């Protein structure tokens, strides 16, 4: 009896294995397992890709911000250059003298107005520059202290561009002070060449005493 039952069970399993429906279920199970594995792998890859894309985007944003900071000083550079050219031109027109005689006469006029004695004026010119040539003045000044300070202040405030290089006290007697002063101004190279001033190594000394009638009026 048991032998007959065993044979029946084996025969039933063989029938099931031979059944297309059984293989269909088996194939479906295999495909389902493969699909699950692929879905998990795809999810992992997508997460990694998304993280990488976010990191790359953040890096690009940092680079863009750095470039923005580096290029910000250059924005509007054309306009600033044009403004600078206009300012330089206006400075030349207002504060650079047209010739040497304008410098010499202006210094003497300021000395007379300040009531100081310019006992010596020595003018020289520096090396020719591209835009301007320096004109150097070495002077000896005598007067009381308020008069000398008035002369110094008038030089600094004058429309002609004077730069005081140095001042040295050379003597003092009573209320009178003797001062040596070195001052610079500038001419355009062509005007400096036409001035006939010697180069700095030589010098052109002038007697800067004011006329007698001016000294009497002091």
- CATH number at 178 reads 3.30.70.60
Which H/E stretch holds residue 183?
Answer: strand 176-187
73: in domain: no
Residue 49 lies in domain: 2-65
200 in the same domain as 107: yes
161: in domain: yes
109 in the same domain as 164: yes
206 in the same domain as 103: yes
123 in the same domain as 59: no
51-63 in b/e burial notation, b at 16+ Cβ within 10 A?
eeeeeeeeeeeee
* CA distance linking residue 99 with residue 90, whole number of Å: 17
The residue from 48, 65, 82 where one domain ends is 65
179 in the same domain as 108: yes
193 in the same domain as 151: yes
Which pTM value belongs to this model? 0.57
The residue from 65, 83, 105 where one domain ends is 65
* CA distance linking residue 50 with residue 27, whole number of Å: 34
188 in the same domain as 113: yes
The residue from 65, 86, 113 where one domain ends is 65
* Number of compact structural domains in the chain: 2
Q: What tens-digit pLDDT sequence spans the chain (218 residues)?
A: 445 555 566 566 566 556 666 656 666 676 777 777 777 777 676 666 666 666 676 667 767 766 776 666 666 666 677 777 888 788 888 899 999 999 999 999 999 999 999 988 999 999 988 889 999 999 999 999 899 999 999 999 999 999 999 999 888 887 789 999 999 999 999 999 999 999 876 555 554 444 333 333 33
Question: For the CA atoms of the chain, what is the radius of gyration?
Answer: 48
127 in the same domain as 24: no
87: in domain: no
26 in the same domain as 116: no
């Amino acid at each position: 009896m048991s032998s007959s039952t065993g044979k029946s069970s084996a025969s039933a399993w063989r029938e099931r294995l031979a059944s297309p429906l059984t293989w269909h279920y088996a194939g479906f199970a295999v495909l389902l397992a493969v699909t699950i594995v692929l879905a998990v792998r795809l999810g992992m890859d997508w997460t990694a890709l998304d993280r990488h894309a976010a990191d790359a985007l953040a890096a690009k944003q940092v680079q863009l911000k750095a470039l923005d900071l580096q290029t910000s000083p250059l924005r509007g550079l054309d306009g600033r250059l044009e403004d600078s050219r206009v300012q330089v031109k206006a400075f030349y027109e207002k504060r650079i003298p047209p010739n040497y005689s304008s410098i010499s006469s202006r210094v003497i006029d300021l000395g007379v107005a300040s009531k100081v004695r310019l006992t010596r004026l020595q003018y020289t010119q520096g090396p020719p520059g591209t835009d301007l040539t320096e004109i150097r003045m070495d002077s000896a000044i005598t007067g009381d202290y308020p008069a000398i300070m008035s002369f110094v202040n008038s030089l600094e405030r004058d429309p002609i561009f004077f730069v005081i290089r140095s001042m040295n006290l050379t003597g003092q007697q009573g209320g009178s002070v003797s001062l040596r002063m070195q001052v610079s101004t500038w001419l355009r190279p062509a005007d400096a060449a036409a001035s006939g001033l010697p180069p700095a190594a030589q010098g052109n000394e002038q007697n800067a005493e004011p006329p007698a009638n001016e000294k009497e009026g002091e």
